[in-house]
Structure 1
Amino acid sequence: MTRVCLVGADGVDLRTELLTRETAREALATYDLREEYRNSLVLDTISLGSAVSLVNDLNWYLVRFTDDALVLEPSVSETEWLSRNLAEAVRDGAIDPEATDEYLKVYGLTAEGELVEPMYLTRQDGELPDYDLRDVDDTVVVRVTESEFGD
């Protein structure tokens, strides 16, 4: 199963915004929506292709109501998310899955389950540098494309 996580923008109730709009509601109707992180919607799809297609179908809403759209593809990594652009590049064969772990966007994760202040990092000798923007309970690692790095 490939997981999709839509991270709501500040001040937006993402679930309400998506489910009160007919087209988004219909696109999401067959999925079990969960809130893995504060103000996020997480759902499971059958493949990387279906995850990318769903995110593309929801693009109009994502531009307006989200800060990020992430994809967790177990064949690439069991624990690290892919950015939307990287997921699409892997699906299209433009980037080899084994070559996706250099450029990272790391979110802090608070005790309340909120994703905060992403920090852009690169692995050094296979190791992930520490997140140091603030004290957090954990981190969420997102692999990004080189062109997204530092956006």
Structure 2
Amino acid sequence: MTRVCILGSDDVDLRIDLFGYETARRALATYDVESPYENTVAVDTVSLGAAVSLLNDLNWYLVRLADAAFVREPSVSETEWLSRDLAAEVRDGDERANETDARLKVYGVEGGELVEPMYVTRVQGERPEYDLRDVDDTFVVRVTESEFQN
């Protein structure tokens, strides 16, 4: 299963605000919606294409309510996520799945919340440790070159 996770902006309660819109509610109605981290909404989809399509369907709401959207595709990585843009590039064949692991955005996980991301480059197959603060865990997102440079 391909998993989608949407991270809400600081000034919204993503689950409440997103489900406040009838069209978003309908788009998510067929999914088992979870909140694995504070201010997130996550669902499982059948494929990378379905995940990207769902995010495209929700785009109007994501622009207004979300800071980021991620996709975890098991054929790419069991543990690392793809940014929405990178997921679309892999789906469209513009980026090879096995070449997506060089540029990373690593969030700390503290008390169930995604905090303070840092950008790192994988060196010789190793990911540098998250060192912005002490955290319980990390949430690793592979990003496009343009996202990495911003």
- TM-score, normalised to structure 2, is 0.98
Q: Secondary structure at the match of 1:56?
A: helix
Unaligned runs of 5+ in 2: none
For 1:97 and 1:131, how far apart are their aligned partners in 2?
A: 24
* 1:116-141 CA-partner distances (Å, limit 9, x unpaired): 01100000111010111111111000
- Return the letter of the residue paired with 1:94: D
Q: Secondary structure at the match of 1:91?
A: helix
| 2:129 is the alignment partner of 1:134 | no
Equivalenced residue count is 150
For 1:117 and 1:63, how far apart are their aligned partners in 2?
A: 20
- Return the letter of the residue paired with 1:93: G
Conserved 8 A contact 1:48-1:87: yes
1:20-99 matched pairs, under 5 angstroms: 20-99=20-99
Q: Which residue of 1 aligns with 2:6?
A: 6
Conserved 8 A contact 1:120-1:150: no
Q: Which residue of 2 aligns with 1:124?
A: 123
* 1:39-92 CA-partner distances (Å, limit 9, x unpaired): 101100000000000001100100111111000000000000000000000000
Structure with greater proportional helix content: 2
Q: Secondary structure at the match of 1:147?
A: helix
- Return the letter of the residue paired with 2:108: G
For 1:47 and 1:60, how far apart are their aligned partners in 2?
A: 22
For 2:33 and 2:60, how far apart are their aligned partners in 1?
A: 19
- Return the letter of the residue paired with 1:58: L
Q: Which residue of 2 aligns with 1:147?
A: 146
Instruction: Kindly state the Cα deviation for residue 150 of structure 1 after the two structures are TM-superposed.
Output: 3.8
Moved over 2 A (4+): none
For 1:141 and 1:149, how far apart are their aligned partners in 2?
A: 13
For 1:104 and 1:63, how far apart are their aligned partners in 2?
A: 22
For 1:33 and 1:146, how far apart are their aligned partners in 2?
A: 30
Q: Secondary structure at the match of 2:26?
A: helix
- Return the letter of the residue paired with 2:18: L
- Return the letter of the residue paired with 1:97: A
For 2:136 and 2:19, how far apart are their aligned partners in 1?
A: 31
For 1:131 and 1:11, how far apart are their aligned partners in 2?
A: 26
Q: Give the % identical residues.
A: 67
